[in-house]
């Protein structure tokens, strides 16, 4: 049903009808959500989920209709009689919009499509798009952090940038674990391969940057950064270090060879994304989007990107019911 052929045929104009046409009288998009485990599978038989709402409760959670609930049903325990929403633990737990809107925004984020006709076709208000772009970005951030790649090496060129990220509402994972309102995002990309790293840091002082770069980038690498003084120690750590003043020009006036497409695209975007406040949250948004898209979306069509992103979301926001299932979900 939702196979590779399905995804590779998706585009901005057939998207909504394709996602919903498989539904059978239920809330549009539910089949898709269950198929990809964005929501727990609503079981056809009773007693498929064990209760985990009360310590050592021996009951089962069974679906019971509830017209006011998000998906028109809740699970109720056969013993302790408590209710639980099928959205608990999933990405829909705190969402105010419907499934279709959610898919549309994820699709839009994956396609990175600013085509006006596409936006009109998608028909969502701007705040919804901004909110759920942020959701996608936070999922992307955790995926990037989990990569665990060590990049660079002799004759390899790595660009590094850092910027502040203000936390928003969807924090799960890394951003939730960190207590402060704002965090620093430090990211690096290897020009030759597109391999990258992203780390969250409490600040952008020299010892912090030194520690991250030593852990993520092999010595001997040629590193390009902006002129932030926190990078001033890199030469002493065994790196070849060039700086670029990207608020003025993309070229290092002393070495024309560092003019490259990758650098230009990354730093041009950083500059455009935030012309006035060079270290605003927009910059880290751009940094995360850029690194993620370059690493994971390269060579994939919009449908394939969407498929991949849905799988990452389902992985990060897993229903607690699946951990207590009487069957193989
Ligand atoms: Zn119970």
Instruction: Enter the tokens of residue 256.
Output: 């024309």
Per mean pLDDT, which range of 184-198, 232-246, 274-288 is the poorest? 274-288
Residue 118 has pLDDT above 80, yes or no: no
Per mean pLDDT, which range of 34-48, 64-78, 91-105, 306-320 is the poorest? 91-105
Q: What is the mean pLDDT of residues 237-245?
A: 89
**C-alpha to C-alpha distance for 262 and 94, rounded to whole angstroms:** 37
* CATH, residue 146: 3.30.420
Domain for residue 77, yes or no? no
> Which residues lie below 8 Å from residue 295, measured CB to CB, with a gap of 6+?
144, 147, 194, 195, 196
Domain for residue 156, yes or no? yes
Burial class (CB in 10 A: 0-12, 13-18, 19+), 134: middle
CA 325 to chain centre: 27
Q: What is the mean pLDDT of residues 35-52?
A: 91
CA of 27 to the centre of ligand 1 (A): 27
Task: Report the pLDDT value the prediction gives residue 113, as an integer from 0 to 100.
Answer: 59
**pTM of the complete model:** 0.84
Domain for residue 8, yes or no? no
**C-alpha to C-alpha distance for 150 and 69, rounded to whole angstroms:** 46
Per mean pLDDT, which range of 67-81, 97-111, 227-241, 250-264 is the poorest? 250-264
Q: Where are the beta strands (DSSP E) in 35-192?
A: 49-50, 60-65, 73-77, 83-84, 157-166, 182-190
> Which segment, 120-134, 217-231, 238-252, 261-275, is predicted with the most confidence on average?
217-231
CA of 44 to the centre of ligand 1 (A): 20
CA of 257 to the centre of ligand 1 (A): 66
CA of 310 to the centre of ligand 1 (A): 31
Residue 246 has pLDDT above 70, yes or no: no
> Which residues lie below 8 Å from residue 222, measured CB to CB, with a gap of 6+?
155, 156, 157, 158, 239, 240, 241, 242
3-class state of residue 14 by DSSP:
coil
CA of 327 to the centre of ligand 1 (A): 18
Task: Please give the residue that has the higher pLDDT: either 104 or 205.
Answer: 205
Share of the chain above pLDDT 70, in %: 79
CA of 50 to the centre of ligand 1 (A): 8
Number of domains in the chain: 1
CA of 48 to the centre of ligand 1 (A): 13
Residue 51 has pLDDT above 90, yes or no: yes
CA of 83 to the centre of ligand 1 (A): 9
CA of 174 to the centre of ligand 1 (A): 31
CA 84 to chain centre: 27
Domain for residue 111, yes or no? no
Q: What's the whole-number average pLDDT of the chain?
A: 82
Q: Does residue 304 contact residue 7 with C-beta atoms inside 8 Å? A: yes
CA of 317 to the centre of ligand 1 (A): 23
Per mean pLDDT, which range of 15-29, 131-145, 154-168, 212-226 is the poorest? 15-29
Task: Report the pLDDT value the prediction gives residue 68, as an integer from 0 to 100.
Answer: 87
Domain for residue 276, yes or no? yes
Q: What is the mean pLDDT of residues 123-133?
A: 79
Residue 135 has pLDDT above 70, yes or no: yes
Residue 291 belongs to domain spanning: 142-299
Q: How far is CA 85 from each of CA 1, 68, 300, rounded to the nearest angstrom?
A: 27, 11, 35
CA of 53 to the centre of ligand 1 (A): 5
Domain for residue 274, yes or no? yes
Residue 179 has pLDDT above 70, yes or no: no
CA of 51 to the centre of ligand 1 (A): 5
Task: Report the pLDDT value the prediction gives residue 13, as an integer from 0 to 100.
Answer: 74
Q: Does residue 295 contact residue 196 with C-beta atoms inside 8 Å? A: yes
CA of 29 to the centre of ligand 1 (A): 29
Task: Please give the residue that has the higher pLDDT: either 167 or 231.
Answer: 231
Q: Dump the DSSP string for 247-289.
A: TT-SSBTTBGGG--HHHHHHHHHHHHH-SS-TTSHHHHHHHHH
Task: Report the pLDDT value the prediction gives residue 22, as an integer from 0 to 100.
Answer: 62
Residue 276 has pLDDT above 50, yes or no: no
CA of 328 to the centre of ligand 1 (A): 21
Domain for residue 97, yes or no? no
Residue 198 has pLDDT above 90, yes or no: yes
Residue 299 has pLDDT above 70, yes or no: yes
Task: Report the pLDDT value the prediction gives residue 169, as an integer from 0 to 100.
Answer: 56
User: Contacts by 20-25 with C-beta closer than 8 Å and gap 24+?
Assistant: 20/100
Task: Report the pLDDT value the prediction gives residue 55, as an integer from 0 to 100.
Answer: 85
């Amino acid at each position: 049903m939702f196979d590779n052929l399905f995804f590779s045929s998706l585009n901005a104009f057939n998207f909504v009808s394709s996602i919903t046409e498989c539904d059978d009288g239920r809330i549009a998009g539910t089949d898709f959500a269950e198929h990809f485990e964005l929501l727990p599978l609503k079981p056809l038989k009773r007693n498929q989920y064990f209760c985990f709402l009360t310590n050592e409760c021996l009951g089962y959670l069974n679906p019971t209709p509830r017209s006011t609930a998000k998906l028109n049903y809740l699970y109720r325990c056969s013993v302790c009689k408590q209710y639980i929403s099928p959205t608990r633990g999933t990405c829909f737990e705190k969402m105010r919009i419907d499934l279709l809107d959610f898919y549309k925004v994820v699709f839009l984020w994956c396609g990175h499509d600013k085509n006006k006709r596409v936006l009109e076709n998608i028909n969502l208000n701007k705040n919804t798009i901004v909110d759920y772009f942020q959701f996608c970005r936070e999922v992307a951030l955790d995926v990037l952090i989990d990569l665990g790649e060590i990049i660079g090496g002799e004759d390899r060129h790595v660009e590094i940038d850092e910027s502040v990220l203000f936390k928003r509402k969807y924090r799960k994972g890394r951003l939730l674990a960190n207590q402060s309102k704002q965090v620093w995002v430090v990211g690096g990309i290897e020009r030759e391969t597109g391999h990258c790293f992203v780390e969250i840091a409490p600040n952008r002082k020299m010892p912090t940057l030194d520690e991250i770069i030593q852990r993520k980038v092999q010595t001997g690498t040629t590193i390009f950064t902006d002129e932030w003084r926190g990078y001033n120690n890199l030469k002493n750590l065994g790196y070849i270090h060039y700086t670029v003043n990207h608020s003025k020009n993309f070229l290092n006036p002393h070495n024309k060879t560092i003019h490259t497409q990758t650098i230009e695209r990354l730093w041009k975007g950083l500059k455009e994304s935030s012309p006035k406040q060079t270290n605003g949250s927009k910059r880290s948004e751009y940094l995360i989007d850029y690194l993620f898209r370059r690493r994971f979306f390269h060579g994939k069509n919009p449908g394939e990107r969407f498929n991949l992103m849905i799988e990452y979301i389902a992985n990060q926001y897993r229903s607690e019911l699946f951990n207590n299932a009487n069957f193989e979900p």
